[in-house]
Structure 1
Amino acid sequence: MHANSVGLTPSQQPKPNKNSRVPIIVFSMLIILLLVLGWQMRDEYFITAQNGVGYALGIIGGSMMLLLLIYPLKKRFPQSKLLFFSTRNWFRIHMMLGIVGPLLVLFHCNFSLGSTNSNITLASMILMVSSGLFGRFIYGKIHHGLYGNKIMLQELLHSKILAREQINDSALAVNSISPEQMKIIQHCEHKLQKVNTVFGSLSTSFSLSLTTRFAQRRLKKEIKASSTEIETLNHLFDYLQAVRKIANLAFYERLFSLWHLLHMPIFFMLVITGFVHVYAVHRY
């Protein structure tokens, strides 16, 4: 069976463009710089939450966080003409608003604690941002880059099957697969079946990460001068890498589903505490 009949092996999979990370790195450095400057200047009281620029920053930052709802609405109604940007573009905007909005609120409160209701709102916002960053981390594990397509389990399974068939063909040709190596393959196949829960997939991912990496180190030591055995070794590497990716993807997909159930309640808690804060400020 040829590679193009099933799919690409892990070593042939397209890699994310490194140039696409430059804007993200620049944006992250700018945010960090603003956080450091804001923290160092908090005792100067250039900004106050009650009026002027500080008040405006609070309104703008809070409005930005309300706009975060547009992205899930776009996902729910992708054909809506009212939400004129594409889902991918709204995701970019969602990521930016989820960072810039809270940053403006921090400047609004001058990086300091205030009344009880404002402190509760601030704590909810920090929890929401932390949840968003954690979700961003998980998202990157199940997609090709920040804005890339979702990594499909079927693609990885095809890669694993292809590598396994190539290993079998090599073994029939030169009998170059040792019983120990075949035992490792059987162990991997058995472990991949135990990924039904979050904790089960975590255990499998951790176990196979160690097993496959140690196996690859041993394979490097066992390599001989024969080009056929070098080719077999490459097939084994492809197989072990595919196994590791399958186990990791299964874990992160289940973790992402669990995170998604928790992130929305955290966001609505922020919205409620934000409205209470605004009401309390203007009422009293």
Structure 2
Amino acid sequence: MIYEPGKGIWHLLGWAGSGMMVIMMLYSLRKRIALFSSLGSLSRWLSAHMFLGIMGPILITFHSTFKFGGIIATSFWSMILTMIFGILGRYIYVQIPRSLAGTELAVRDIEQIIESIEIQLREYSGGVNLADLSRGIDPEGGDFAERGLMKTLLFMFRTDIVISYRIQKVNTILKRQHHLAWKVRRKIDQLLKKKAALIRRKNYLSTSHQLLHYWHVVHIPLAIVMFLIMILHIVVYYLFRPVHSI
């Protein structure tokens, strides 16, 4: 097998990866142009955008046969940075509660959902005092503006880990001490996670909007640079292919 980016399957992988990177930009059209608003939910488009945004760079990495130099190195690392920031952006995006249609929920809507979850938890608990068991799971409230955006983001990561650990401890207690069925414990797990996530997202709503704004400031220029270099790479390759390949 020939391990050269411009030959054989490696060449095809480059086109496939580049195609995915271009197709994923349809999400931006779906989000910004009202004409496309009926073409599926925004959340599904975002999922497709994320999938293509990860698979594209993977295929392009194999296309390069792990040989980076010159313009290729610049293109590759701008692509990797764009992908990493895309994953980070997805995390920040989901911190803002939304409906199934993708529209942002108001604080009152979030509070109503939390109240509904609490009712369901009481129904599933079967007399177990979940309020005491789950104490410490729900994130703290308060104004987080003084933390700073980066510290808040790191705190959000840490909170996710801590909440998962504490919910697992509750699950263990429900199993060993209260002998609740697996299906019931699983449902309680899901409800506790959803409730904690909503409370945390409500508390951090303003900060999440700020983080998303600054993320756009970085991510969009990175994506533009990535596509410009990708186009330049393709043009140069086909212009100079008879002489040499880059």
Q: Sort the TM-score into its range (normalised by shorter chain).
A: 0.5 to 0.7
**CA 1:52 to 1:99, structure 2 compared with 1: closer, same or farther past 3 Å?**
same
**CA 1:79 to 1:86, structure 2 compared with 1: closer, same or farther past 3 Å?**
farther
RMSD of the alignment, in Å?
Answer: 3.9
What's 1:107 paired with?
Answer: 62
* Aligned 8 A contact 2:43 2:102 in 1: no
What's 2:215 paired with?
Answer: 259
What pairs with 1:236-247 in structure 2 (closer than 5 Å)? 245-247=201-203
What's 2:26 paired with?
Answer: 70
What's 2:50 paired with?
Answer: 95
From the CA coordinates, give the structure whose radius of gyration is larger.
Answer: 1
Percent identity reads 24
Task: Specify the SS of the correspondent of 1:141.
Answer: coil
Q: Which has the higher helix share?
A: 1
Q: Which runs of 5+ in 1 are unaligned?
A: 1-44, 161-187, 214-239
What pairs with 1:108-257 in structure 2 (closer than 5 Å)? 108-110=63-65, 112-143=66-97, 150-156=104-110, 192=143, 195=145, 199=149, 202=152, 245-257=201-213
Length-normalised TM-score, structure 1: 0.51
Q: Could you tell me how far 1:275 is from its partner in structure 2?
A: 1.0
**CA 1:94 to 1:281, structure 2 compared with 1: closer, same or farther past 3 Å?**
same
How far apart in 1 are the matches of 2:150 and 2:84?
A: 25
- Cα deviations across residues 180-215 of structure 1 (Å, max 9, x unaligned)? xxxxxxxx6xx53x7499649949x88xx8xxx9xx
Q: Could you tell me how far 1:63 is from its partner in structure 2?
A: 1.5
Say how many residue pairs are matched. 178
Q: Could you tell me how far 1:91 is from its partner in structure 2?
A: 2.0
Q: Tell me, yes or no, if structure 1 residue 279 matches structure 2 residue 229.
A: no
How far apart in 2 are the matches of 1:146 and 1:261?
A: 27
Q: Could you tell me how far 1:246 is from its partner in structure 2?
A: 3.2
**CA 1:159 to 1:256, structure 2 compared with 1: closer, same or farther past 3 Å?**
same
Task: Specify the SS of the correspondent of 1:154.
Answer: helix
